[in-house]
Structures are given as C-alpha cells and as structure tokens.
Amino acid sequence: MHAFGQILRIETRLFLRDPAAPLTTVALPLALLVVFGLIPAGRQPEAQFGDLPFIQYFAPSLLVITLAMTGVNILPTVLATYRERGVLRRLSTTPASPVALLAAQLVISLATILVSAVLLVAVGRLAFDVPLPRHLLGFALALVLGTAALLALGLLVAAVAPTTKAAQALAVPLFLVVMFFGGVYVPRFLLPDLLVRIGGYTPPGVQALLDAWTADAPQPLHLAIMAAVAVVAGAVAARLFRWE
C-alpha cells in the first residue's frame, strides 16, 4: 500500500508536469464552455436543440472531450510508452508490482474525468444557467459507464499494441470516432439522423449524458451498451496485456 501511494503521488506529479495532459483534458472543454456561454445566442432555447439553449445541448459533448482524451488517448499512450521503455519491467524487479502503476494510471484518469465533470456542471450552472443534471442518478450512471467503456477501450489498445507508435496508430482513429459521434467536431444537430442515433450507442454515450442532464432517465439500452463495451473490452485487455 505504501508503494502504491508513492507511485500514485509520483505519477500524479508527472501528469501535472506535462502541460498537455491537464490542458487537453480539463482546461480545453472548460474554455469551450466559457466561449459558447459568452455568446448570447448560445444561451437562447432553440427548437433545433430540442428547445434547449445551445450551450446546454453541447455541454455533454464537452465532457466527451475529457473522456476521449483521457481514455483513448493519454491512458494507452502512457501505458504503451512505459512498457516500451521498460518502466513496467523494471518495476517488476522490485518488491512493488507493475499492477500498482496501472492502478495509479486508472486512478488519475478517473480523477481527471471527475474534476472535469464537476467543473463543467458547476461553471455551467453558476455562470451560464445550465441546470444541474435533472436525473442525477442517471447522469452519474451514464458518466460512470461511459468512463468505464472508454478506459476499457484504452486498456485494450495498450494491451494489443506492441509499441508506442502502434498504440497511437490504434488510438488516433478510435479517438476520432469517439469525438465525432460524441458531437465534438460537428454539433450533432447538423448530423444526419442516422449518425445521431449511432452516436447514442458509441462510447461514452453522449445521448445518455444529454438525456440525464437535461430531461429524464437515460435509455436503458444506451447504458447497457456502455456496460457491455466496458466488460468485453476490459476482459480482452486483461487477457492480452503484457508487461514487457
């Protein structure tokens, strides 16, 4: 436990020391929220956004940025780099286990997502009148399952990629798909209906987040898909993961 605490402390420092990581995961979505929030038109309800203001409609997609960056970009890259450079192997020659390092990375990912979600909800509420999630339990569930699905996919990438380059080659397209269907690149109201519907089922499940945030309980099928992705990807990753 002592070793795990030390590893977590050091890994957190390293995460914060790399300015790109906190910037892309937490600062970027928050900055976008502020920018759209400051545009007056962004705060007017519109029929095309389901009678919501744009900022409210778009907020779940901002959360997708954090989730995608953390889960399918930073996590697999860090793990693949650590494996390629022999960091994991060196750890396995000491009384500490490389599992502790993996666990520390997951804790940091979860903390990043939690911090970003709290900031987005709080700043949205305090500065731009975005209501707190209407269905709190549903929102928490959608966030937890969406996070689990993306972290599992990130672990799967780290498990199957033999090198850092290979990890990035796999992670980048996955990242683009997650971001696209999450409505980050093109707001979803501009997408054809079919793509919007597909986006409800691709991790992290932007529709479930939107439903719970603005209206009602998320659809069980949306949540079930995220849980299934998390379990399957996580199980395959656990089977295939190598320390060296």
Longest CA pairwise span in the chain (Å)? 61
Residue 45 three-state SS: strand
Which residue, 201 or 241, is less far from other proteins as judged by CB? 241
Write the interaction track for other proteins spanning residues 27-66; mark x where CB under 8 A is met and - where it is not: ----------------------------------------
Crossing angle for the helix pair 98-128 and 2-17, to the nearest 10 degrees:
50
Instruction: Compute the CA torsion angle 85, 152, 167, 23 (nearest 10 deg).
Output: -80
Distance CA 76, CA 155 (A): 6
Distance CA 162, CA 64 (A): 27
Give min distance, CB of 44 to other proteins, in A: 45
The DSSP annotation for 100-144 comes to: HHHHHHHHHHHHHHHHHHHHHHHHHHHHH-PPPPSSHHHHHHHHH
Find the binder of other proteins among 10, 99, 169, 224 (CB under 8 A). Answer: 10
Q: Give yes or no for residue 23 binding other proteins (CB under 8 A).
A: no
Give min distance, CB of 79 to other proteins, in A: 12
Which residue, 2 or 239, is less far from other proteins as judged by CB? 2
Write the interaction track for other proteins spanning residues 65-104; mark x where CB under 8 A is met and - where it is not: ----------------xx--xxx-xx-xxxxx--------
* Residues at the site binding other proteins, with contacts judged by CB under 8 A: 2-3, 6-7, 10, 13-14, 17-18, 81-82, 85-87, 89-90, 92-96
